[in-house]
């Protein structure tokens, strides 16, 4: 194998390896970030949707980015798309550096822009449109290098600057900068006339946002137009790391002009391999610092709650105790849906009532989780309100596929068929929600089909049909009203009981406990027994006289707990001495704040 073919093989190997690592990372370690991002947009195959996006600067990049993001619905497709795009970006950078220098020893450096974008994509609020915009810009530069006539080439660069601004957004000026560098380092025929035209071109580039702002009366600050409107979920945030990724491309092209040419084959390959190792270490460190695996864990709980994969949630909690209110809320929902709440909730970390029914937050994340809980309880309108509020709080003003789907369901169950049909018509214009929307639309003309859906049939019975004001401060009363409306709603009863336990309101727990007689429990759930006998212990020392059928193991366990507790006392209790009781309600009652 000769020198050229050997280096070519190494280049191809490194590109494929990089793509595989990116694919594996998003598929194996970061897949829930993909699902999280997919739910916060609603890509529609309609002309109106196209017009809406293309009518603002950076609209084409936003449209293409949103189009690809919808494939995150299938995590394998999402991971594959990101991997292919990053490899293609690296190929574009390599193509430009080859114009400056034929030396392939420093090929690993062409991965740096892709690595920087890779790190940015670890932030769930950095949108794929930022990567697409940079690729559109580099594609324009590659076309520029194909024009042989110098005057036409530079005039073309001037014309393409405002076009790129409208299609790609704030990254457009990188095109002009690269054209200037290539005229100096690649074409090497910069005359006085060309210099004047280039200066004019740079002025056109600088004035493009100003001209478009006044020409089309754009309702955006000039600084936003320079940064771009669609690269971050927060349009008002200046993404300085993105600027570093942009500038890395022209800096690399210039650097290749000054890097030494290595003629000896063995040294060439040694430099190539050494640089590959250095870039790999840099990439590993940078990605590790950029990735937020704690958020990934929370997103996993949310995704499994959204898809009703309750066993997966419990498996996650068995692997590692959830410690955030939203994760705990998903776990408690899973325990309830699998009939294990009363027996198992205190076997896991509990952080009070916030881990059962989270308080409404004005953001675009937590209301989705709270909305899931209220939906399954039967508070359908509250669930719809939470989903609507979450969707309207999305900073880049996109609609949410998840919210639209839930609002369609709730309106269908409420008998608001025209409203449900409106939401379903949106979903019918999507790729991955179309089949569900088509099936659900049949219920509009034939409402009896709703009864064939076990979940919907139950929720129609549980939902409140009379107007009332939902109070965040009186959640136990809200749960009581819900259960009184449908005494077969076991989840409402267990959430009422759990709420009193988590607020350490033993008296109300005992008061509400008899309401569950109609639910056909074979045995009182173990945590309910622990609370009942704890209450009884304040009334009498004789556990054999309890008015409830408390099992002997629970009675004996309380005696052991009381002995350990009285020996150590709450203030001086050694956690190791109480560890045997950490999965009981008594431990929560005495030691959890």
Question: What would the mean pLDDT of 64-71 be, rounded to a whole number?
Answer: 98
User: Read out DSSP for 286-317?
Assistant: HHHHH--HHHHHHHHHHHHHHTT-HHHHHHHH
Query: Using one digit for the tens of pLDDT, what is the confidence trace for 319-330?
Result: 999 988 899 999
Question: Which residue would you say has higher pLDDT here, 105 or 112?
Answer: 112
Query: Using one digit for the tens of pLDDT, what is the confidence trace for 392-416?
Result: 999 999 999 999 999 999 999 999 9
Query: Using one digit for the tens of pLDDT, what is the confidence trace for 252-268?
Result: 999 998 888 777 777 77
What pLDDT score was predicted for residue 537? 87
Q: Which two tokens stand for residue 27?
A: 């598929």
What pLDDT score was predicted for residue 1? 47
Question: What would the mean pLDDT of 441-455 be, rounded to a whole number?
Answer: 94
- pTM score: 0.92
Give the mean pLDDT of the chain. Answer: 90
Cβ-in-10-Å burial (0-12, 13-18, 19+) of 21 comes to middle
Give the least confident one: 178-182, 449-453, 535-539, 543-547.
543-547
Bridge partners of residue 221, in order along the sequence: none
Question: Which residue would you say has higher pLDDT here, 577 or 558?
Answer: 558
Closest to 90 (Cα-Cα) out of 102, 100, 101, 98 = 98
Q: Where would I find the H helices in 102-189?
A: 112-121, 128-144, 150-168, 173-182
Q: Which two tokens stand for residue 469?
A: 């004001």
Q: What share of the chain is helix, strand, coil (3-state, %, to 5)?
A: 75, 0, 25
What pLDDT score was predicted for residue 194? 65
Give the least confident one: 172-181, 184-193, 238-247, 322-331.
184-193
What stretch of H or E contains 383?
Answer: helix 380-392
Res. 500 pLDDT band, cuts 50 70 90 = very high
Task: For residues 124 and 197, give the distance between their C-alpha atoms in angstroms, rounded to a whole number.
Answer: 41
Cβ-in-10-Å burial (0-12, 13-18, 19+) of 77 comes to middle
Greatest Cα pair distance in the chain: 105
HEC states along 498-536? HHHHHCCCHHHHHHHHHHHHHHCCCCCCHHHHHHHHHHH
Question: What would the mean pLDDT of 173-202 be, rounded to a whole number?
Answer: 77
Within 10 A of 233 (CB to CB), how many other CB atoms are there? 19
pLDDT at residue 228 is higher than 90: no
Task: For residues 423 and 421, give the distance between their C-alpha atoms in angstroms, rounded to a whole number.
Answer: 5
Question: What would the mean pLDDT of 75-93 be, rounded to a whole number?
Answer: 97
Q: Give residue for tokens 């084409």.
A: 60
What pLDDT score was predicted for residue 238? 75
Closest to 499 (Cα-Cα) out of 368, 374, 353, 364 = 353
Q: Where would I find the H helices in 393-453?
A: 401-413, 417-427, 434-445
Question: What would the mean pLDDT of 359-373 be, rounded to a whole number?
Answer: 92
Task: For residues 587 and 93, give the distance between their C-alpha atoms in angstroms, rounded to a whole number.
Answer: 60
Nearest 10 degrees: CA dihedral of 506, 510, 512, 513? 120
């Amino acid at each position: 194998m000769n020198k050229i073919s050997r280096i070519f093989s190494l280049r191809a190997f490194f590109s494929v390896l990089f793509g595989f690592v990116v694919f594996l990372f998003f598929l194996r370690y970061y897949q829930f970030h993909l699902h999280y991002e997919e739910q916060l947009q609603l890509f529609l195959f309609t002309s109106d949707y196209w017009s809406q996006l293309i009518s603002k600067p950076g609209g084409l990049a936003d449209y293409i980015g949103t189009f690809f993001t919808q494939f995150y619905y299938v995590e394998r497709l999402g991971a594959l798309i990101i991997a292919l795009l990053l490899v293609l970006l690296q190929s574009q950078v390599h193509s430009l550096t080859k114009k400056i220098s034929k030396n392939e020893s420093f090929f690993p450096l062409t991965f740096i822009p892709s690595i920087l974008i890779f790190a940015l994509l670890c932030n769930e609020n950095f949108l794929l449109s930022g990567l697409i915009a940079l690729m559109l810009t580099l594609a324009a530069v590659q076309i520029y290098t194909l024009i042989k006539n110098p005057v036409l080439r530079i005039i073309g660069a001037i014309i393409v600057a405002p076009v790129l601004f409208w299609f790609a957004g704030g990254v457009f000026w990188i095109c002009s900068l690269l054209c200037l560098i290539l005229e100096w380092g690649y074409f090497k025929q910069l005359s006085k006339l060309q210099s004047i035209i280039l200066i004019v071109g740079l002025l056109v580039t600088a004035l493009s946002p100003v001209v478009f702002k006044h020409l089309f009366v754009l309702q955006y600050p000039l600084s936003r137009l320079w940064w771009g409107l669609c690269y971050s979920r927060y349009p008002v945030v200046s993404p300085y790391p993105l600027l570093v990724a942009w500038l890395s491309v022209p800096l690399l092209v210039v650097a290749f002009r000054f890097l030494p040419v290595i003629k000896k084959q063995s040294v060439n390959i040694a430099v190539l391999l050494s640089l590959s190792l250095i870039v790999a270490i840099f990439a590993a460190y940078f990605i590790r610092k950029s990735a937020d695996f704690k958020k990934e864990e929370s997103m996993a709980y949310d995704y499994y709650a959204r898809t009703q994969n309750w066993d997966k949630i419990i498996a996650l909690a068995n692997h590692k105790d959830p410690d955030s209110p939203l994760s705990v809320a998903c776990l408690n929902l899973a325990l309830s849906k699998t009939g294990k709440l009363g027996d198992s909730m205190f076997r896991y970390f509990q952080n009070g009532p916030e881990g059962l029914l989270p308080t409404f937050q004005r953001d675009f994340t937590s209301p989705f989780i709270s909305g899931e809980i209220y939906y399954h309880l039967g508070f359908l309108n509250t669930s719809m309100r939470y989903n609507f509020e979450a969707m309207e709080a999305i900073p880049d003003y996109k609609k949410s596929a998840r919210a639209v789907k839930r609002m369609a369901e709730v309106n269908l169950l409420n008998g608001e068929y025209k409203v449900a049909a409106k939401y379903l018509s949106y979903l019918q214009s999507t790729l991955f929600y179309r089949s569900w929307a088509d099936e659900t639309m049949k219920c509009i003309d034939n409402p009896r089909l709703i009864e064939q859906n076990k979940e919907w049939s139950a929720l129609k019975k549980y939902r409140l049909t009379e107007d009332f004001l939902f109070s965040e401060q009186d959640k136990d009363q809200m749960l009581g009203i819900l259960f009184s409306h449908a005494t077969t709603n076991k989840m409402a009863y267990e959430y009422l009981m759990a709420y009193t336990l988590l607020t350490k309101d033993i008296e109300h727990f005992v008061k509400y406990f008899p309401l569950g007689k109609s639910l056909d429990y074979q045995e009182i759930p173990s945590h309910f027994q622990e609370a009942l006998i704890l209450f009884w212990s304040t009334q009498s020392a004789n556990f054999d006289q309890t008015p409830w059928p408390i099992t002997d193991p629970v009675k004996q366990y309380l005696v052991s707990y009381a002995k350990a507790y009285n020996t150590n006392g709450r203030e001086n209790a050694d956690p190791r001495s109480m560890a045997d009781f950490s999965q009981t309600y008594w431990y929560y009652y005495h030691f959890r704040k």
